[in-house]
Amino acid sequence: MSDAETIYDVIIIGGGPAGFSAAQYASRAKLKTIILDKSSTAGALAYTGHIENYPGITAPMSGKELLDIFRRQAVGFGAEYVETQVVGVSLEGEVKEVFTMGKAYKGKAVIIATGSMGRKPTIKGEAEFLGRGVSYCAVCDAAFYKGRTVCVIGNSEEAVKEAGYLTRFAATVHLISPTPKLKVEEHPALGAANLKVVLGATVIGIEGGETVEKIRTSDQDKKESELSVDGVFVYLHGSKPVVDFLQGAVELTENECIEINRMMETPIPGVFAAGDVTCTEVRQVVTAASNGCVAALSAEKFIHHRSRRKSDWGK
C-alpha cells in the first residue's frame, strides 16, 4: 500500500496495453510499480468491441476482456493498480511527482501511457468556454458545481460513471446521449434521483456570458431545444494524444504527441512514453504493448544505473 512517503521505482500513467505491458515487465523485474489509470472502461482498447489480431488470441474477444487479462497479469506480478485520474506532474527532479486530486505519488521513473483518445473541441462554444463551465474532468471540477445544474455529454460507460460522480455534488445532472441507447443500460449511477437521461440528442451549442449558461440541443427529428446549465462535462472521444495533464512538462510536437527515441525515452531523464500517446505511425495493441515492454526495460536500466552512482532517492 502506498503512503505519502512511498517512493515507487516506476509510476505508470495509463492502464491500456502500453501501461499494463510496462507494468508487467517492471514488476517482474522486481521494481516497485504502480499504475494510475483514469478508468478501466476508457481508453482505445476498452472501446474496442472485437479484437482478433493480437498475437496469442485464438478466438475473437472484446477489448475489455483482453484489457482484464493485461491487468490481471500485471497485478499478478506485483504491480499496484489504482483507478484515479492524473491531473498534473512534476518531472524535472530526481524524484518525480504525479498528482491526482487527492494525492501525490513519488517515483524514480515515470512512464506516460495515456493513449490518444483525447478530444479537440468541436461543439460550438466548447473551446470558448473551456475552463469557464466546460470541463473534461469531473473529478477535477465537480466540487465547483455544488447545488448547481450540469450536463454530461456522452453515451459510454465512462460518461455514465462520471455523471454518477457529479450527482454527489450537483443538484441536477443531465446525461445527454447522442445515441438512442447508452452503451451500458444497467449501472448503479443510473439510479441516482438527481440524474436525468436524455437519449438521442446532439448538443449543437454551448452559450453564456462570462461562464456557461445554457446548451442548445437537436433531437433526432432536428427539433432544437435549450437547457439551462452551469457546467458542461464532455465525454465524447477524439483521436488526439492525451497530454493535457502534462501542462507543458514534456515537450510535444505540433501534433501534440510525445517524441521518443528507440528506447522510449523522452528528453527528460527518467521519463518514458509508450503507446498511442507517442508520435507513432502505427496505433495497434501489439505495438503499444511492445512499446510498454521497451519503456519498462529502459526505466529499469535508468534506475539501476542511477542507483549505482547515487543510492539515496529520498533526498
Ligand X SMILES: Cc1cc2nc3c(=O)[nH]c(=O)nc-3n(C[C@H](O)[C@H](O)[C@H](O)COP(=O)(O)OP(=O)(O)OC[C@H]3O[C@@H](n4cnc5c(N)ncnc54)[C@H](O)[C@@H]3O)c2cc1C
Positions in the binding site for ligand X (CB under 6 A): 13-19, 36-39, 42-45, 47-48, 51, 53-54, 85-86, 113-115, 117, 242, 245, 275-277, 283-286, 288
If one counts every other C-beta atom within 10 angstroms of the C-beta of residue 35, the result is: 28
Q: Is the dihedral of CA 69, 72, 75, 80 positive or negative?
A: positive
Separation of alpha carbons 20 and 145, rounded Å: 34
Nearer to ligand X by C-beta: 83 or 94?
Answer: 83
Closest of 120, 230, 238 to residue 174, by C-alpha? 230
**Minimum distance between the CB of residue 297 and ligand X, rounded to whole angstroms?**
17
Separation of alpha carbons 67 and 73, rounded Å: 10
Helices (DSSP H) in 29-181: which residue ranges?
Answer: 44-47, 63-76, 138-141, 157-166
Separation of alpha carbons 96 and 268, rounded Å: 11
Cell of 86: 492524473
**Minimum distance between the CB of residue 117 and ligand X, rounded to whole angstroms?**
5
**Minimum distance between the CB of residue 36 and ligand X, rounded to whole angstroms?**
5
Nearer to ligand X by C-beta: 61 or 198?
Answer: 61
Nearer to ligand X by C-beta: 16 or 154?
Answer: 16
**Minimum distance between the CB of residue 138 and ligand X, rounded to whole angstroms?**
12
**Minimum distance between the CB of residue 306 and ligand X, rounded to whole angstroms?**
25
161 three-state secondary structure: helix
Nearer to ligand X by C-beta: 43 or 208?
Answer: 43
Contact 13, 83 (CB under 8 A): no
Cell of 159: 460518461
Residue 159 burial class via C-beta count within 10 angstroms: exposed 0-12, middle 13-18, buried 19 and up: buried
Cell of 302: 535508468
**Minimum distance between the CB of residue 47 and ligand X, rounded to whole angstroms?**
5
Residues 6+ apart with CB under 8 A from 251: 259, 266, 267
Nearer to ligand X by C-beta: 208 or 275?
Answer: 275
Contact 111, 19 (CB under 8 A): yes
Nearer to ligand X by C-beta: 129 or 136?
Answer: 136
**Minimum distance between the CB of residue 244 and ligand X, rounded to whole angstroms?**
7
Contact 87, 140 (CB under 8 A): yes
Nearer to ligand X by C-beta: 139 or 227?
Answer: 139
**Minimum distance between the CB of residue 16 and ligand X, rounded to whole angstroms?**
2
Separation of alpha carbons 137 and 141, rounded Å: 6
**Minimum distance between the CB of residue 113 and ligand X, rounded to whole angstroms?**
5
Closest of 227, 231, 180, 175 to residue 204, by C-alpha? 227
Nearer to ligand X by C-beta: 38 or 174?
Answer: 38
Nearer to ligand X by C-beta: 152 or 215?
Answer: 152
